[in-house]
Amino acid sequence: MQFLTSFITLFPEAFPGPLGVSILERARKEEIWAWETVDLRPFGVGRHRNVDDTPAGGGAGMVLRPDVAAAAIDSLDRGGRPLIYLSPRGRPFTQAMARDLATGPGLVLFCGRFEGLDERAIEGRGMIEVSMGDFVLAGGEVAAIALTEAVVRLLPGVAGNEASLGEESFETGLLEHPQYTMPREWEGRGTPEVLLSGDHKRIEEWRLNSAKALTKQRRPDLYAAYSETPEFKAPETGDEHD
Ligand SMILES: C[S@@+](CC[C@H](N)C(=O)[O-])C[C@H]1O[C@@H](n2cnc3c(N)ncnc32)[C@H](O)[C@@H]1O
C-alpha cells in the first residue's frame, strides 16, 4: 500500500520543496509514497474566505479558526492515518517517532500559521501536537517537510543503502562516529590510521568508542540514557577518548 502524506496548508506552493528531489522523488515515482496538499483557503468563511480571526481575550496576531481547520480536515479520507499538528508546544520529534510513523499508512499534517490554531480544533479532532525543536518558525510547512523527509526515507525501498540506516545518529542511542573519505591527506589533516587498517574488529571498536566520546561531550542527555539502556551496555574497550 502506498504511504500517503497530506499537507493541510495556507501555502500549497511550499510543497514539495526538498521532498521533490533525490531519493524521495525517486520513491514517489516508484509509487512507494505519494503526497498531496489541501489548501485551507477554500474552506474559509465569507466573501473573503477568511481563515483566521483575532485572539479571544485580545493580544497580538491572528488565530486560525477551528471551523475552517475542521472543514479542511474532514474533507480528507484519513484512512487510519495519524493527524499531526506541527506546533512548538508539541512533543519533540525524535528518530523513534519517525520509525514508528514509518510503520503506519501515512500522515496527515496540519501546518499552522499566525499565532497558531484554535485549541478547540486540536481537541475536537484529536490532533497530535509535534514540535521540531525549541524554536519558533513562521509556519508549519518547513516543519511538516522535515518530519515527512525523516519518515519517508525509512520506508522500505526508499534509501539506497538500507543497512546504513540502522547505524545512523540516534538509531543506536548515540550520535554517529566521524566519517572520512578521499583524499587520505587534506590540508595537513590525515585519516585515522585504524580506518585504513582493514581490521574490521578494530574499526568497529574505534567507531563505537568515537560515537560514545562524541555523544558524551555534545549530548550528555543522550549519553546518560544510552548508558542506562541494558541492550547498549557493551563492555568498555579501553581506548575511549573524552
Ligand atoms: C509563529 S508560529 C506560532 C507560535 C505560537 N504562537 C507559540 O508561541 O507557540 C506559527 C506556526 O508555525 C508552526 N511552528 C512554529 N514553530 C514550530 C516548531 N518548533 N515545530 C513545529 N511547528 C512549528 C506551527 O504550525 C505554528 O502554528
CATH number for the domain that contains residue 24: 3.40.1280.10
Q: What CATH number does residue 182 fall under? A: 1.10.1270.20
Amino acid, single-letter form, for residue 161: N
Return the residue whose CA atom lies nearest to atom 19 of ligand 1. 88
Alpha helices in 16-94 (DSSP H): 22-29, 66-74
Same domain assignment for residues 171 and 202: yes
Q: Which of 125, 152, 179 is the last residue of a domain?
A: 152
| CB of 116 shorter than 6 A to ligand 1 | yes
Q: Which three cell numbers stand for residue 153?
A: 526515507
Q: Is 127 in the pocket of ligand 1 (CB under 6 A)?
A: no
For residue 89, how far is its CA from the centre of ligand 1 (angstroms)? 8
The rounded percent of the chain whose pLDDT value lies above 90 is 88
**45 — phi, psi (to 5°)?**
-105, 150
Candidate from 8, 136, 141 with most ligand 1 atoms within 8 A of CB, to mutate: 136
Residues 88 and 206 in one domain: no
Q: Tell me the one-letter amino acid at 212.
A: K
Q: What is the pLDDT of residues 133-189, one digit of tens each?
A: 999 999 999 999 999 999 999 999 999 777 678 778 888 899 999 999 999 999 999
Atom number in ligand 1 closest to CA 116: 27
Residue 142 has what pLDDT? 98
Instruction: Please give the grid coordinates belonging to residue 192.
Output: 585515522
Q: Residue 235: is its pLDDT beyond 70?
A: no
- Specify whether the CB–CB gap between 3 and 32 falls below 8 A: yes
115 touches ligand 1 (CB under 6 Å): yes
Please tell me the total count of domains within the chain: 2
Taking phi over 0 as left and psi of -120 to 50 as alpha, with beta for the rest, 18 belongs to: alpha
Ligand 1: atom nearest CA of 85 is 25
Judgement on whether residues 43 and 65 belong to the same structural domain of the protein: yes
Q: Which tens digits make up the pLDDT trace of 9-56?
A: 999 999 999 999 999 999 999 999 999 999 999 999 999 999 999 999
How many angstroms separate the CA atoms of 42 and 234, rounded? 56
Instruction: Indicate the residue among 152, 174, 192 that finishes a domain.
Output: 152
Residue range(s) defining the domain that contains residue 39: 3-152
Closest atom, ligand 1, to C-alpha of 89: 9
Please indicate, yes or no, if residue 242 is contained in any of the structural domains.
Answer: no
Ligand 1 site, residue 147, Cβ cutoff 6 A = no
pTM, two decimals, is 0.93
**Confidence class for position 232, pLDDT limits 50, 70, 90:** low
